[in-house]
Every structure is written in C-alpha cells, then in structure tokens.
Amino acid sequence: MHMKSQEVFLRFIDHLKETIKLSDLDVDFVLKKLEIKKLKRKEYLIQPGDVSRYMRFIVSGCMRSFYLDENSQEHTLQFGIENWWINDLHSYLSRQPSRMYVQSIEKTVLVQIHRDNLESLYLEVPEIARFFRLKIQSAYVALQERTIENLSTNSYERYSNFRTQFRDIEQRLPQYVIASYLGMRPEFLSALKKKHVLDFS
C-alpha cells in the first residue's frame, strides 16, 4: 500500500478530530510539526540505550514494544495497529535511555512529533493537551484492567479474553508475541490451544 504524505497527515488529523475539535488554523499549527517515518518489516524503532524523542502514531502497519530480560526472554508490553499510539513513554518523559525494544511486526508507516514540537503545540493549541490527557487516561485504565486480569486469571482465561478483546488483531501477531503479552511461554500457549481446540475454533 502506497500513500502520499498528504493522505498520511490527513489520517492523523482525522484521528485527532475523533476526540477534539480543531479549527482550520489549529490544523495548520499541527501539520507544521508532523513528520513521517516508514519502517520495513521487523525493523527497530527504539532499542535499549536509545532516548525516545518523539510521540508516535501508527498510520498503517503493526508494531510492538517488548522487554528482553536477563534470560533472553521477551515480554511484550504493548502492541498496536493503525490508529494506535506506540512509544516508550518512560524514556520519552524522563529523557532517559530506554530499556525496551520497539519494533515493527509488519511494514509500517508512522506519524511522529518531536517532544519540543509537542510541548509548543500544547501552548498554541490547548485542545492538543486535552487530547493527550484523555488518551493517557484511557490507556491507564486499560492497563489497570490488564493488571487485574494478570493477577486474577489463569492462562486459559487470559487467552480467551485476549481473543475476544483483540479478535481483529490476533491474526496479525505471531503466536510467540501473544504468549509473551499474556505472560506465558510459547510452548505452553501451543499446548493450551491444542487442549481446547473446540473453544478456539
């Protein structure tokens, strides 16, 4: 899929307009701050040691962020497709080197805003500040739900709920990514699916 940069930016603006109101003037202010970033499949956007200086929005494709522990095991913190945001927010906010990987799963097109540009946008277009307040609120609540679920359910339930919650995304994620997101090993998820074929067909 090939997109003109104009189209990419407009998709981004549309996304903003789903949550906030923007005048044409506001839109001009925003457009001036945007950049496009393209990634092939399996390309790294952030690696440990990098400092994240951009807020990033997925226009097309699929990405994830994960932590690699001392036993070389991956733990997926986040994944995202079109119209989701993806970043290492800890690094972005603290300006410290990341301990995470952020990587594309498919060929991906991103819109990104540099931190300095976003800070000035907050002042020029206060609705943008409101946009991020609302977005981060929702993200926080969603992460709380995930935390509760991690604490209170077994593997079968977690995978079941995952499938209904992310019906449309599941097939775009490799199975080992799903396992690492749900906190189980890939071999176990494989065995789980076999044991419950009927439920999962």
Partner DNA sequence: CGCGACGTTGATTTGCCTCAACGATTGTGG
Partner DNA sequence: CCACAATCGTTGAGGCAAATCAACGTCGCG
Instruction: Name the residues that contact its own copies, by CB under 8 A.
Output: 67, 69, 73, 75, 77, 89-90, 93-94, 126, 129-130, 132-133, 136-141, 143-148, 150-153, 180, 183
What six digits make up the tokens of 179?
A: 């396992």
Q: C-beta of 161: minimal distance to DNA in Å?
A: 13
> In angstroms, rounded to a whole number, what is the distance separating the alpha carbons of residues 193 and 201?
9
> In angstroms, rounded to a whole number, what is the distance separating the alpha carbons of residues 94 and 110?
22
Q: Is 193 in the site for DNA (CB under 7 A)?
A: yes
165 binds, among DNA, its own copies, none (CB under 5 to 8 A by kind): none
Cα angle for residues 70, 61, 84 (degrees, 5° grid)? 80
Q: By the 8 A CB rule, do 12 and 3 touch? A: no
Q: Is 142 in the site for DNA (CB under 7 A)?
A: no
Choose between 106 and 127: whose C-beta lies nearer to its own copies.
127
Choose between 107 and 130: whose C-beta lies nearer to DNA.
107
What six digits make up the tokens of 86?
A: 């993806």
- Give, as ranges, the residues between 8 and 47 that touch DNA (CB under 7 A): none
Q: C-beta of 167: minimal distance to DNA in Å?
A: 17
Q: Is 73 in the site for DNA (CB under 7 A)?
A: yes
Q: C-beta of 198: minimal distance to DNA in Å?
A: 14
| Residue choice 6, 70, 71, 152 for contact with DNA (CB under 7 A) | 71
Q: By the 8 A CB rule, do 80 and 62 touch? A: yes
DSSP-assigned letters across all residues of 96-128:
PPP-EEEEESS-EEEEEEEHHHHHHHHHH-HHH
**Spatial CA neighbour of 64 closest among 108, 2, 112:** 108
187 binds, among its own copies, DNA, none (CB under 5 to 8 A by kind): DNA
Q: How many residues does the chain have?
A: 201
Q: Residue numbers of the site for DNA (CB under 7 A)?
A: 71, 73, 154-156, 174-176, 183-191, 193-194
